[in-house]
Structure 1
Amino acid sequence: MKKIVLALTMVTPLMMFADVIPAINSKGGAQVLPEGKLKMGIKHTQFERNSMFDGTNEVPNRENLDATANITVVGLHYGLSPKATIGVMIPYKNISATAKLRTNDVAIDNKGLGDIVLVARQVLLPMGEYGFQLSLDGGLKLPTGATNGSFKKAPTIANGVDTPMPTQMGTGEFEYMIGLGVTKMVHESWEVDAHLSYTYRPKAEHDYDFGNALSLDLATTKSVTKQFNIGVEYNFTYNTKTDMGEDTNAQLRAMLPFKAFSGSVGYVTPQVEFLPFGKPKIHFGVGVSFLAHYDVKEYQPLEKERFVARVGYLF
């Protein structure tokens, strides 16, 4: 079996080596689809934010923020050539929150299409020649998500105007992404992936700056039976400080619990994958991301756990 897998990798850098599925948040390391193959994936993430943090400390939730997010992403990827894959990711968001701002009780229930992302991956160093695979990624986020009108905002307490918040469906601006991925097969049933990416975000609607982001994903997955994989990954994100624009003064900003993330945070995600037919043609995965460390730039909420589920189908 090992000789067969090696022979296949010499011909084309496959997306799934043997029967091992890449980790649930890992971006697949450096893997690509075989030429002419189409893959559909659906990933759902759910988390709650009812805890506040400042720097490296958890602090009192002064505004009694209680927020829940459900985000479903449908991804379609196509093997354009033996070394290139293109794709599109379409998110749907459902965000609800309650809080008390001064004498105002705030209730938010926003749902709708988010910002669609176009992605492409090109293999630079193929597995068959180097014993590992290295890829270059590029991405473009389109401003398809609503930024005003179709969702609720904060009350008019900022100089008599509505205050934009990160609960909106999109940023109202294009974003640009670049990344590097690495995949190494320790043996036919054990995979190690790494992915580093940078996102540049210009100022968006309402002069709101969501901050640029640097992300690192380290993951390992192993096939333990023909039908089950287990894995664990580490997900790190650093985001520059956000700017809520002219609608929000410094005093109000310090009080608002609704903020886009800024600072650094790391999560550890154990997971399991089920391959009902013993092959990666269709697979189901579940994982839980636990907050491992954080250092945020200002008073803001974080989720302590994220619950993730996905299904993938290779046509």
Structure 2
Amino acid sequence: MKNLFIKSLLLAPMLINADVMPAINSKGGGMVLPEGKLKMEIKNINFKRNSMFDGSSEVQNRENLDATANITVVGLHYGLSKSTTVGVIIPYKNIEATATLGTNAVAIDNKGLGDIILGARHVLIPMDENGFQLGIDGGVKLPTGTTNGGFKIAPPIANGAYTPMPTQMGTGEFEYIIGLGVTKMVDETLEIDAHAMYTYRPKAHNEYDFADEIAVDISGVKSITKQINIGLEYNFKYNTKTDMGDDTNAQLRAMLPFKAFSGSAGYITPQIEFLPFGKPKIHFGFGVSFLAHYDLKEYQPLEKEKFIFRICYLF
């Protein structure tokens, strides 16, 4: 249940001189903050996983998995110069899940600080010269989250064992991120953003339960009044499949439904943004991501909807 949401805050600045805010998952395309400005973004993501999928089909939930994730992410971003923004992203996670293995009940209740991300964005092509802005991102995810959470109710085979890696707060490994984003202001009331990001996980190539990831976000946001934006975005991700090796007992992994995401999935996210004072000083956003398509590499859970709320403040 991790790495589905944390990087949605990765350096998502705003266009300060307009009434249009970047979409809620868009990462701000290629935009940066003005020099000397500090932005705080608090985002809450909530979703359930009580449906199982394999390939491009929804299949029977054999283990009666019922999982809920509630994640609060705080992002702080600072305009280091007119062309560079730096930031830190701090997640707090609460993951609860129940399942049944034969006649044995299984329950997980893990919560705590997740892996912190440090990142930066630099403008390669500025808006004022070309009618669009292109930026490049770089970041590193620090292994600050714990990886030793135990079962609330453990099956006999898992007595004394840690829960599978997807249900832990951290990954136990440094990860490296590179991205490319572009922003086009069609006019003063319409912003188009696109962003692609690659996450490299060195441990994924031998014994790690999260493979390398490619994520793409495309969005459009329209200001319909000085206080109201509406938007629509498409969010896509692809994760390669890897062998968990020593991270989780192989027999336990085969039995439990708590699998890490592998394969591809796309979501459509309609949303609304409220600027109470008609300026980007403070704004609130709400969106719902709906599963649009998927092609998964093994039997695994996937959320059909994600509910996202954010509040942003510009210092």
- Per the normalisation by structure 2, the TM-score is 0.91
Partner of 1:180: 180
Counterpart mapping for 1:165-204 below 5 A: 165-203=165-203
Distance 1:150 1:100, change over 3 A: closer
Q: What letter is aligned with 2:219?
A: A
Contact 2:83 2:122 in 1 (8 A): yes
In structure 2, what is the Cα distance between the partners aligned to 1:14 and 1:100? 46
In structure 2, what is the Cα distance between the partners aligned to 1:277 and 1:159? 55
Indicate the RMSD between aligned Cα atoms, in angstroms. 2.0
Partner of 1:272: 272
In structure 2, what is the Cα distance between the partners aligned to 1:179 and 1:209? 22
Partner of 1:38: 38
Contact 2:40 2:313 in 1 (8 A): yes
What is the percent sequence identity of the aligned residues?
75
Q: What letter is aligned with 2:243?
A: D
Q: 2:245 is paired with a residue of what secondary structure?
A: coil
Q: 2:310 is paired with a residue of what secondary structure?
A: strand
| Structure 2 residue runs without a partner (length 5+) | 1-12
In structure 2, what is the Cα distance between the partners aligned to 1:208 and 1:101? 24
Contact 1:154 1:162 in 2 (8 A): no
Residue 200 of structure 1: CA displacement?
Answer: 0.6
Counterpart mapping for 1:20-169 below 5 A: 20-149=20-149, 155=155, 157=157, 162=162, 164-169=164-169
| Structure 1 residue runs without a partner (length 5+) | 1-12
Q: 1:277 is paired with a residue of what secondary structure?
A: coil
Q: 1:294 is paired with a residue of what secondary structure?
A: strand
Q: What letter is aligned with 1:225?
A: T
1:229 lines up with 2:229 in the alignment: yes
Distance 1:159 1:207, change over 3 A: farther
Distance 1:132 1:218, change over 3 A: same
Q: What letter is aligned with 2:25?
A: N
Larger Rg: 1
Distance 1:154 1:178, change over 3 A: farther
Distance 1:262 1:227, change over 3 A: same
Counterpart mapping for 1:285-300 below 5 A: 285-300=285-300
Residue 203 of structure 1: CA displacement?
Answer: 1.8
In structure 2, what is the Cα distance between the partners aligned to 1:274 and 1:16? 15
Contact 1:153 1:162 in 2 (8 A): no
In structure 2, what is the Cα distance between the partners aligned to 1:218 and 1:54? 26
Alignment deviations for residues 195-231 of structure 1 (CA, whole Å, 9 cap, x no partner): 0000011227x94331000000000001000100000
Distance 1:14 1:288, change over 3 A: closer
Alignment deviations for residues 163-194 of structure 1 (CA, whole Å, 9 cap, x no partner): 53310000000000000000000001100000
Residue 248 of structure 1: CA displacement?
Answer: 2.9
Q: 1:283 is paired with a residue of what secondary structure?
A: strand
Contact 1:202 1:209 in 2 (8 A): no
Contact 2:24 2:285 in 1 (8 A): yes
Contact 1:154 1:165 in 2 (8 A): no
Partner of 2:307: 307
In structure 2, what is the Cα distance between the partners aligned to 1:84 and 1:162? 41
Count of residue pairs brought into register by the alignment: 301
Contact 2:148 2:162 in 1 (8 A): no
Q: What letter is aligned with 2:249?
A: T
In structure 2, what is the Cα distance between the partners aligned to 1:119 and 1:51? 34
